[in-house]
Amino acid sequence: MRNGAIDLAKIFSAASLVFFHIPSLPGRDVLLFALVYFVAIAIVFTRPPDDPRLRRIAHMDRQKKLIVPWMFWFCVYAILKVVAARPWIDGGWLPLRILSGPWEGLWFLPFLSLVTGVLFLYHNEIFGVSFKGLSALYVALILGVLFQRRLLSLDPPLGSYIYCSPAIIFGLLVHRFISSSRHINTITGLSAAPLLVLPFDPFFSLSYSIAQILVLFTSCSTIPSNSLLNTLASRTLGIYLVHPIVIGLVSRTWTTTPLLSKGAISFVLTTLVVLLCSKTVVFRRVV
């Protein structure tokens, strides 16, 4: 049975990312919690099979689900830029720009592909690290991101990779916790730990705290899902990939609409477009 809390959190996170990309929305940086949530929750439920053959099959299946949509939407956004008489990709070191893509939000798919690929290839070594060791690494990464903020300004997608790196370790910690039901005090404390640095960087502190508390709660929840939640949650990646196009159209059509209303309209329209596309053979694998 699917976890209804995770389905709800995925839908909420997808909507938050749509609102994040509404230009000039006040306080929108906090909405980056959604990316942290998606990274961490993917790690929590990455469980490579013990059998090498089954592990290879599961690994390839996971890679296809990430790389095929990335390649498709890479081409779509490149074509849209060319049609608009703009460079198909921004300047900079080409390999990094390829990973970032014509739309910078495309960085997320190669990043998740790389992270989960490493987990599949080195699962014994990674999952064999002690809980204390993972906790220490998590704290070091959080402090590193916080006090070395200039690293987040590196050429895309490196800044985004660094921003989400603590989420990888937190996902491993929650994975270990729900597998053994031990260290409840430690994992609860770590989930809220970013709040301790609230005075130094409110947006980073709040986004990470919201995401991690949400990951811990939804991972342990036993709320059942239903067909509607299941359908919407299974299309959150598609919503993420399609929403910039819809936001562009909404911004041109409803020029005087309040920002929050633009976000709501964009999310509803994006969801409808993705659901319709998912019914077709051509687009089903890329949304």
**What global pTM score does this model have?**
0.93
**Contact residues for 255 (Cβ-Cβ < 8 A; gap 6+):** none
Question: How many domains are contained in the chain?
Answer: 1
The tokens 């990973």 sit on which residue? Answer: 99
255: which DSSP letter? Answer: T
pLDDT of residue 48: 83
Rounded to 5 degrees, what are φ and ψ at 79?
-65, -45
**Contact residues for 265 (Cβ-Cβ < 8 A; gap 6+):** 250, 254, 257
pLDDT of residue 1: 66
**Residue 84 has which token pair?**
């608009």
Read off the pLDDT of each residue in 88-110 and give the average, rounded to a whole number. 84
68: which DSSP letter? Answer: H
Q: Please tell me the least confidently modeled range out of 72-86, 152-166, 228-242, 259-273.
A: 152-166
Mean pLDDT of the chain, nearest integer: 90
Q: Which domain holds residue 238?
A: 4-286
Banded model confidence at residue 86, pLDDT cuts 50, 70, 90:
confident
Alpha carbons 165 and 78: distance in angstroms, whole number: 28
